[in-house]
Every structure is written in structure tokens, then in C-alpha cells.
Structure 1
Amino acid sequence: MIRIAVATALAAVALVAVPTARGGGGHYVLDGGTPAERHAVVAALEASSFDWNLVPAVITFHIVRGADAFAIPGEIWLDADLLDAGRFAWGVVQHEYAHQVDYFSFDDRLRARFLKLLGATEWCYGPTPDAPHAVYGCERFASTLAWSYWPSPENCMKPTSPQDESAAVSPRRFRAALDAALGKAVRKR
């Protein structure tokens, strides 16, 4: 009886947390969500030309209805309702994964370089945690990465004014700066 319960529990875990490394690259686990919501995450990463495999960690995507989208090292939370919107959500998925690039591949020197490039004054939620989202270099970095590697009119990170988070530098300039910072080409081949 215990063996059956353990086998059932393991099967349930395997269905909920399936490691993925698809065409979109990256090493991640999907936790929660419907098959369509999970597919939206995979499709978002596949749409980007960024090589998500460069993030040297397994990232867990938590798909939760009503959750605010946010990231901490190794984990990303996404709202299931947002993912239900389809392609509109893809820029947010890429933005949150871009934070993982910062967490796992940047040091203070690189953050200072991108802080200046992106025209921000503070990297990420330090002494002024209640400032507008676009003030922070980490948010500008994530939005600009999402826009620079998926410059589609459907990308919700597309800048619509010079003040937008992803508008500080052109995609070409950003990609060149990121290649130089990481010492390698970061576009998928």
C-alpha cells in the first residue's frame, strides 16, 4: 500500500515539475499551470533569439493564478491569467527570465556598466524600494533584453516612448554590449 502511494506521489510530481530544455533553450522546471499555460512559457522562450542556456542554473517557473510576475534567483512567478492571454505574455516571460541572467551572470562591475548604459541611477530596489519600476537598472536590463532579442510588434516590452524601460539603447547596441560583457555571442545559433 505504501509503495502504491509513493509511486502515485512520484508520478504526480513528474507531471507537475517536468524539466525542460527545448528549442528556446534554458534549463527550467514548470510548476503548475495548464498545458496551454506551460506551452506559453516554452513558446515565449523559443520566440527569443537569446540563448537562455547561458544561465548556469535550473530555473523554476511557478504558474499561479492571480500572482504578480516577479523573479528571485532561481525562481520565477507568472500569473496564469496573463499566460492565458497568449503571445501578449511572452515579453513578460522573457523579462522575468532576463532577471536570471543578472542574478547568475552579472557581478557588481557588469551591473555598474549596464546601469550607465541604460540610464538608471540605482540597480535594483536598494535604498528607494518604492520608486517607479522603470527607475531601476535591473528592470531596464530585463525589459531591454526581452525587447532586443524578440523585437516583434507583439512584444509588450516594445518601447512606445523614449522614457520606456526598454528605450534607453537600441537593440543592436544592447546586444553588442551584452556580448562584450559576457565575453561571447549570446544569440542562439
Structure 2
Amino acid sequence: MLSRLALLCALVALALPGWASAGGGRYTFVGGTKAERQTVVSALDASSFDWSLVRTRITIEIVRGLDSQAVPGRIWLDADLLDAGTFSWGVVQHEYAHQVDYALLDDAIRAQLLPLLGGNTWCYTTAALPHGEYGCERFASTLAWSYWPSPDNCLKPEWAGDESSAMPPRRFRALLDSLLMRPTIRSR
């Protein structure tokens, strides 16, 4: 009887969304194994960015075979990528960095960042551009690289035109930190 109760409790725990608060982030997991969820936690913990600046609770859904992506309040991560461990951490940070954009940046800040990051338009207002031509993608990659500038980061710039190469990490961190310290941004 006790083993049945333990099994039932374990099944209920797996079915319910998991809550986490790594590196200050506020998020809920849907799907994924314990190891895949831990990979997300480790990825966010590896970054020096204060994810708690994003006050919205983010739903992180782990799905096998789906391209990693984000919309306001929601992130989808490919379980196969998470199974690669540390290699996936840059992508996890990149997708969460989109939440920083959605929650903390306004059009004036985006307009200021766009020429510095080198994109053609901020985020998908022009269809069919390569991924790296969008300022929002360059922002997310640069944030992920700048706050975790590790040789293990898959977003480490390989050449001058890479998404994360527009600004040296120290310069980007100083700029973003100063932009996020504005009272109008902090109060959101």
C-alpha cells in the first residue's frame, strides 16, 4: 500500500508544473525530465545577469524536436538540445534574454541598441531576413555571451559578423546595466 502511495505521489509530481527560481528568474516548467530542467537551472545560474529583473513569471516548456523559441511570457526549449548539457546553456540564456527584451526594453531603448548591435530591424517587422539580421536576436545572443563569456558558450563569437560579436562583453554589460537602472524601466 505504501509503495502504491509513493508511486501515485511521484506520478502527480511529474504531471504538475515545476517551479524554479535560479539566478533570480521566475519561471514554471512544463515537460522535460529532471535532468533537462536542471540543465535550464544550471544555464541561468551560470550567467551573471540578474534574471529577477524580469518580474513576469515565465513558462518554460521543454519539448522534444521543436526549435527553441520565445514569445512574451513563454519559452520553448528543445529537449534534445538540453540533453547535450552545457552546450545548450547559451541557447537557454538567449531565449530568456528575449524575455528581458519583452519585459524591460521600450522602443526608445531598442532604437538606441539597434545600430550598436548591427541588425536591420528590431524583431520580425520585416519578414524573411536571416536570423542574425534582427536586432532582437542580436540582443539576445549578445546578452547571453556578455553575461556568460565562457569558452563553453555556444554563442561565443566565431567571426566579426556573428550575432553576439557587435560589442565586447564588458561594454555591452555596462550599457545594458545603465539602461536597466533607469527608474522608468526598473519600475515595470
Q: Match of 1:154?
A: 152
CA distance in 2, matches of 1:100, 1:12: 29
- Following TM superposition, by how much is the alpha carbon of 1:14 offset from its aligned partner in structure 2, in angstroms? 7.2
Q: Match of 1:42?
A: 41
Q: Match of 2:186?
A: none
RMSD of Structure 2 on Structure 1 (CA): 1.6
Q: Match of 2:18?
A: 18
Unmatched runs of 5 consecutive residues or more in structure 2: 1-7, 183-188
Cα 1:13–1:109 change in 2 (3 A) is farther
CA distance in 1, matches of 2:18, 2:77: 17
3-state SS, counterpart of residue 24 of structure 2: coil
Q: Match of 1:187?
A: none
Unmatched runs of 5 consecutive residues or more in structure 1: 1-7, 185-189
Paired residue total: 174
Structure 2 counterparts to residues 48-127 of structure 1, below 5 A: 48-127=47-126
- Following TM superposition, by how much is the alpha carbon of 1:12 offset from its aligned partner in structure 2, in angstroms? 2.9
The residue type equivalent to 1:20 in the other structure is A
CA distance in 1, matches of 2:16, 2:85: 21
Runs of 4+ in structure 1 deviating by more than 4 angstroms, as ranges, are none
TM-score when scaled to structure 2? Answer: 0.88
The residue type equivalent to 2:83 in the other structure is D
TM-score when scaled to structure 1? Answer: 0.88
3-state SS, counterpart of residue 76 of structure 1: strand
